[in-house]
A and B are shown apart, each in its own frame.
Chain A
């Protein structure tokens, strides 16, 4: 399993095989959002662009957007998450994954944070 990469919007991305990556939200993100009640994911086959809204995440209180951490084609979505959005609360980096993307420009990953950089960001946020 390759290393996780992170965005400033608290999404994670993990290269799975070749140029396919799994995407989800971080533990910090699920904690901030609270109990998730609805997710809307892009359709399989659609194109997503790095940093652009590609889905919706709603908690009891509020709606927020899922921004694609990298550009590419959506090759799979987590249907189990659509049925039970709480999976992203219980296991955000495992069973609660959102989508799989076939990357169109893997060099974009260089713009993402590695674990150490993301940990530092969380430290700053927690003051």
Chain B
């Protein structure tokens, strides 16, 4: 087994009593002594601090950077305003999803954040653009996420100027004398920030945030239950190379100008497939799944219709602490995708009643100004 990597906050996690687990090649905190349930509820009620330094941070610089990046994603990068952020997807020639990512127009460069598990693949992909722009992995930076309804008031004591940011915008600010790049975004459905900070200052920033009365450390366990309640996709589960953005119900992420009738139509991998799917529809879709009983329905469970015919599968599932019920997401045939459709999930071979549910399970509370 290859050696697991550690983030700059590794020692702090141990000091805080974290239970460390291997995740995407890193030793990461799955939970702290409070436990997943309390950590989840604390984030929804106050504010949680997450170490997401395992994710890949990449800088694309040069006059052609946006044009070049548009060849890899079905998203408008050229018209992304200064200090604005956008969700995007790397697609393959079949229209399948290679990864999801965040792109921020930082002025003299594009700031890109990709998933830890896909980091090497994504970097190789981005390096194919090197004839048109400079591609630099920011491996000397950590990434912290502060999330929750009281994230802004906690942050205000450390960097008051960040309160003017609205959801999906960014600012370069000095925090504790350190050059940080901050976006108002996250992966919990709550208001909050993601802070890119030089590795050597990450621990002192984390300690300053944890010193705020609203803030508790939150592990990957609660990060997963929070994003599931918020209806957000986890790469490798809810989206992968076998699913297209249209099937994944991510049509909203496909910018108008890149669609078939747009000013810069196509020009990304799988454009023909994706454009055809937008025009003609798809045979299966990602939907929310609400188990009717108390038993969690997890990733991999087969979904069957009332005639016991398999019509899909669960791709993420577990327990939603905020609603105190099991919740799940999965793919079903388009004919069965209407909210309220009654299906059965096979759990340990036994059918359990479930319903197609509206996503998100918990209302998103982003700060839009």
Q: State the A residues within 8 Å of B (CB).
A: 34-35, 37-38, 40, 56, 58-61, 63
Chain A residues within 8 Å of B348, by CB:
56
Residue ID in chain A nearest B325 by CB atoms: A37
Chain A residues within 8 Å of B225, by CB:
60
Main secondary structure of the interface of A (DSSP, over half): strand
Contact B326 A60 (CB under 8 A): no
Question: A60-B319, A61-B221 are contacts. A34–B295 as well, Cβ < 8 Å?
Answer: no
Contact B221 A40 (CB under 8 A): no
Contact B318 A38 (CB under 8 A): no
Q: In the complex, A123 Cα to B144 Cα: how many Å?
A: 35
Question: A34-B221, A61-B36 are contacts. A40–B295 as well, Cβ < 8 Å?
Answer: yes
Residue ID in chain B nearest A85 by CB atoms: B294
**Whole-angstrom distance from the CB of A61 to the nearest CB of chain B?**
5
Question: A60-B318, A61-B318 are contacts. A37–B35 as well, Cβ < 8 Å?
Answer: no
Chain B residues within 8 Å of A63, by CB:
296, 298
Question: A60-B225, A60-B319, A60-B321 are contacts. A35–B295 as well, Cβ < 8 Å?
Answer: no
Residue ID in chain A nearest B298 by CB atoms: A63
Question: A60-B221, A60-B225, A61-B221 are contacts. A35–B37 as well, Cβ < 8 Å?
Answer: yes
Q: Which of B31-57 contact A (CB under 8 A)?
A: 31, 35-38, 40
Please give the number of chain B residues whose Cβ is less than 8 angstroms from any Cβ of chain A in the complex: 19
Q: In the complex, A105 Cα to B92 Cα: how many Å?
A: 61
Residue ID in chain A nearest B33 by CB atoms: A31
Chain B residues within 8 Å of A38, by CB:
294-296, 319, 326
Q: In the complex, A35 Cα to B219 Cα: how many Å?
A: 14
**Whole-angstrom distance from the CB of B289 to the nearest CB of chain A?**
16
Chain B residues within 8 Å of A61, by CB:
30, 36, 221, 224, 318
Besides the known contacts A34-B31, A56-B348, A61-B224, 10 further A-B residue pairs in the complex with CB atoms under 8 A apart:
A34-B36, A34-B221, A37-B296, A37-B319, A38-B319, A38-B326, A58-B296, A59-B36, A60-B37, A61-B318
Q: State the B residues within 8 Å of A (CB).
A: 30-31, 35-38, 40, 221, 224-225, 294-296, 298, 318-319, 321, 326, 348
Main secondary structure of the interface of B (DSSP, over half): mixed
Chain A residues within 8 Å of B298, by CB:
63
- Contact check: which of B30, B31, B224, B326 meets A37 at CB < 8 Å? B326
**Whole-angstrom distance from the CB of A73 to the nearest CB of chain B?**
22
A-B pair number, CB within 8 angstroms: 41
Contact B36 A35 (CB under 8 A): yes
Q: In the complex, A63 Cα to B35 Cα: how many Å?
A: 16
Chain A residues within 8 Å of B38, by CB:
35
- Contact check: which of A35, A40, A58 meets B35 at CB < 8 Å? A35
Q: In the complex, A40 Cα to B224 Cα: how many Å?
A: 24
Q: In the complex, A34 Cα to B19 Cα: how many Å?
A: 11
- The residue in A56, A58, A61 that gathers the most chain B C-beta atoms within 10 A of its C-beta is A61
Chain B residues within 8 Å of A34, by CB:
31, 35-37, 221
Q: In the complex, A38 Cα to B347 Cα: how many Å?
A: 13
Q: In the complex, A58 Cα to B225 Cα: how many Å?
A: 14
29 A-B pairs (CB sep. < 8 Å): A34-B31, A34-B36, A34-B37, A34-B221, A35-B35, A35-B36, A35-B37, A35-B321, A37-B37, A37-B296, A37-B319, A38-B294, A38-B295, A38-B319, A38-B326, A40-B295, A56-B348, A58-B295, A58-B319, A60-B37, A60-B40, A60-B221, A60-B225, A60-B318, A60-B321, A61-B36, A61-B221, A63-B296, A63-B298
Chain B residues within 8 Å of A60, by CB:
36-37, 40, 221, 225, 318-319, 321
Q: In the complex, A127 Cα to B225 Cα: how many Å?
A: 31
Q: In the complex, A34 Cα to B40 Cα: how many Å?
A: 13
Chain B residues within 8 Å of A40, by CB:
295
**Whole-angstrom distance from the CB of B302 to the nearest CB of chain A?**
16
Q: In the complex, A90 Cα to B331 Cα: how many Å?
A: 37
Residue ID in chain B nearest A63 by CB atoms: B298
Chain A residues within 8 Å of B224, by CB:
61
- The 7 residue pairs across chains A and B that have the minimum distance between CB atoms: A35-B37, A37-B319, A60-B36, A60-B319, A35-B35, A58-B296, A61-B221
Chain B residues within 8 Å of A58, by CB:
295-296, 319
